Each structure stands twice: as structure tokens, then as C-alpha cells.
Chains A and B, each alone.
Chain A
Amino acid sequence: MGEVIVVTSGKGGVGKTTTSASLACGFARRGKKIAVVDFDIGLRNLDLIMGCERRVVYDFVNVINGDCTLKQALIKDKRFDNLSVLAASQTKDKDALTQEGVAKVIDDLKNDFDIVLCDSPAGIERGAFFAMYFADRAVVVVNPEVSSVRDSDRVLGIMSSKSRRAEQGQDAVKEHLLLTRYSPDRVERGDMMSVGDVEEILGVKVIGVIPESPEVLSASNSGVPVILDENSDAGQAYSDAVARLLGETVPMRFLDPKKKGFFQRLFGS
């Protein structure tokens, strides 16, 4: 039976889809058979970040409605044949996801894959609820910024009381934080909360810290998840996070400001 991992956050724009795409490729590169599912019904985007947008024929809602089989809807990644994407539907029907429908798809995926990664939409409505409901583990993506941290706490609260695990009295969903857009320089100057601050406020451990880096935008521009850019700090930080999610002990990197040259220091950056 595969494991269900949700990538969620509450707040929008913090990097959930970027994270889902990178974690998916990272797990695939490590030999895991993985399916990544876009729960953002109406606002499909994971396909674009994964670079498979032109190959979407059927989507999540088609599978639920029985318009096609799950196998027909899964898009095989061109880079890793052990990685599949299930695209979100672009329907405007808010009730397109049903609990039984989603449960069936998740259970079928668990039978076929080692990991089912659920990319949650922002907010705490239907799509976000179903993305986290079936989770065994959660990666809560958070920016070191007040509204993101507060929303993450709300999501953690909902997960601990409303998930299937909570309802069935099983062990709680295992929670991890993934800090994105982290800027060690600004932390040092006291303009940004540190990893330790965010961990202390939320009471959850960080599984990875992704530094703010221009390669993240280039990666989405080209439809190649940033984890595959092995020269970028963000890519390497995602690789580390994948290793930690697989249970390895890897020291944190990119937490200290980069050393600046003499002139840079003199004239500011």
C-alpha cells in the first residue's frame, strides 16, 4: 500500500505547486513509483509546472465521473517513467469532487504507487479539504511571513481534527514544515523570521528550507521542476528535503548569508 502525502499551506502563492512538482520528481529520481495529483479544481496548474500541459486528455473529475479509467487519465512523465501526473479539471462546478469519488481514486492510486502526492489548492474549502483528508503525512509549505504562518497554523489545526486518520482514531497525520522563499540575509538583519522562529510558533519541525532563488521562476517558465536544476540552491535544497522525507539525516544548507566581496559589502548589495 502506498503512502499519501499532501502538500498544503492555507495561503496561496507560497509555493505549493512548485513544491509538489519538485518533490514528485525528487521521489521519482530516487526510484519511487509516484503519482502526483492536482486538487485545484477549476485552476489547473500542476501540469504547467511539470511541463506536461499539452498532454492532458482526461482529468481527475473525468475519472470520478467514469468518463475514462484512472489509467487513461494518468500522464506519464517524459523524464521518469515511474512518475505520473493526474491533472485537475477546469470545470467551474464546485461540487465536482465527491468524497466517495476522491476516496476511490486515492485508494486505487495507493494500490499502484509507492507514494501518492496530493497538491492542495489554497484556502480551506472543498479541494483543500479532500487533498488533506486522506493524508498519512503532510508537508505544510510556509513563507517566513505573518499571514502564511498564521494560515499554516489553521491548516494544521484542521488536519489534526478533520482528517480521515483523526476521524478513524488512527495515529495522527505526520506533519512537516517546508519553508520557502527563505532569505538568510534578511534573517540576519532581523527583517525576516528564522527557521527556529517559525518552528517555535507552529510547534512543527522543518523538513526543508528552500532559499529565495531566481531559478524557481526560470524553472516554472520552462516546465522543468527546479529540483532538476542541480546547480541551483533551491534545487539542491529540494533534493535534501526529499532525502529527509525518505528518512535520511541530511544537514540543513543555505541557512547562512552568502559571503560578500569587499566592494559588495562597502556599497551594499
Chain B
Amino acid sequence: MGLFDLFKSRPKNTAKLAKERLLIIVAQERGAEAMPDYLPLLKRELLEVIRKYVNVDPDAVQVNVEREGSQEVLALSVTLPEKD
């Protein structure tokens, strides 16, 4: 770093940020690759049903297929909005 650089405001460690973002997106995309084709549609329909009763964000519904040994588990999690 040169003398003049001391006066410049430097961005934070962006490499670290890149790595964190990539670890998340890569894990997500690898998961998506291994998932059954019906999952996105299932998720959308579930969201519609839930929204009849509670107003939740699209992100609030998580549908995942997890493997536990030879068994496959369909895990559904819905985050409800905070009560005012």
C-alpha cells in the first residue's frame, strides 16, 4: 500500500464477502440439482394455501428434501410474520 492510499477510504474485505455469497448460492444450487422436479410447483401451491390464512412472504416457506440414510424426508418450514 502506498503513502497516498492511506488517505483513500478502502473498501472492506470484498474477497471474504464473495466467498460467503458463493458458499451459500453454490450449496443452494447443488441442492436444487438433486431435488425432485415437482418441488417448485409444490412450494408455490403450498404458499397459496398458507396465504389464505396468514399473510407470509414468499421467502417464508422453505421446502426441502433431506436424505437421512436411505430415507427421504420432505421438510416444510413456514416462518410466520411477527405479531404487532
Task: Mark A residues whose CB is within 8 Å of B.
Answer: 144-146, 149-150, 153-154, 157, 161, 187, 189-194, 197, 200-202, 264-269
Q: Please, which residues of chain B bring their CB within 8 A of the CB of A146? A: 18, 21-22
CA separation between A266 and B6, bound complex, in Å?
A: 11
Q: Report the bound CA distance from A190 to B11 in whole Å.
A: 9
Q: A153-B29, A157-B30, A266-B3 are in contact. Are A194 and B23 (CB under 8 A)?
A: no
Hey, which chain A residues are within 8 Å of B29, CB to CB? 150, 153-154, 157
- Asked if A201 meets B15 with Cβ closer than 8 Å, knowing A265-B2, A267-B3, A268-B2, the reply is no
Query: Can you report 22 A-B residue pairs in the complex whose CB atoms are below 8 A from each other?
Result: A144-B15, A146-B21, A149-B22, A149-B26, A150-B25, A153-B30, A154-B29, A157-B30, A161-B33, A187-B15, A189-B1, A190-B14, A191-B11, A193-B19, A200-B19, A201-B22, A201-B26, A202-B26, A266-B2, A266-B3, A268-B2, A268-B5
| Interface size classification for chain B | 20 to 34
B71 contacts the other chain (CB 8 A): no
Residues on the B chain within 8 Å of A269, using CB: 2
| B38 is an interface residue with CB less than 8 A from chain A | no
* B37-79 interface code vs A (CB 8 A; 1 in, 0 out): 0000000000000000000000000000000000000000000
Q: Please give the residue numbers on chain B whose beta carbons come within 8 Å of chain A beta carbons, in ascending order.
A: 1-5, 11-16, 18-19, 21-23, 25-26, 29-30, 33
The 3 closest A-B pairs by CB, nearest first: A268-B2, A190-B13, A197-B19
**Chain B residues whose CB sits within 8 angstroms of the CB of A202 once the complex forms:** 26
**Chain A's interface: helix, strand, loop or mixed, by majority?**
helix
Report Cα–Cα, A198/B23, bound state, in Å: 10
Q: A202-B26, A268-B1 are in contact. List 5 more A-B contacts (CB 8 A).
A: A146-B22, A149-B26, A153-B26, A266-B3, A267-B3
- Least CB separation from B6: chain A residue: A268
CA distance A202 to B23 in the complex (A): 9
Instruction: State the CA gap A194–B15 with chains docked (Å).
Output: 8
Measured between beta carbons, the chain B residues less than 8 angstroms from A201 are 19, 22-23, 26
Which residues does chain A contribute within 8 Å of B4, judged by CB atoms? 267-268
Give Cα A154 to B26, complex, Å: 9
Known: A267-B3, A267-B4. A191 touches B26 (CB 8 A): no
Tell me how far the C-beta of B10 lies from the nearest C-beta in chain A, rounded to whole angstroms: 8
How close is A102's CB to chain B, nearest CB, in angstroms? Answer: 25
Contacts of B18 in A (CB 8 A): 145-146, 193, 197
* Chain B proximity of A188: nearest CB distance (Å): 10
Asked whether A191 and B30 contact (CB < 8 A) given A150-B22, A267-B2, A268-B1, the answer is: no
* Known contacts A149-B22, A268-B2, A268-B3; is-contact A190 B16 (Cβ 8 Å): yes
A263 to B74, CA, bound (A): 63
Which residue of A has the minimal Cβ distance to B21? A146
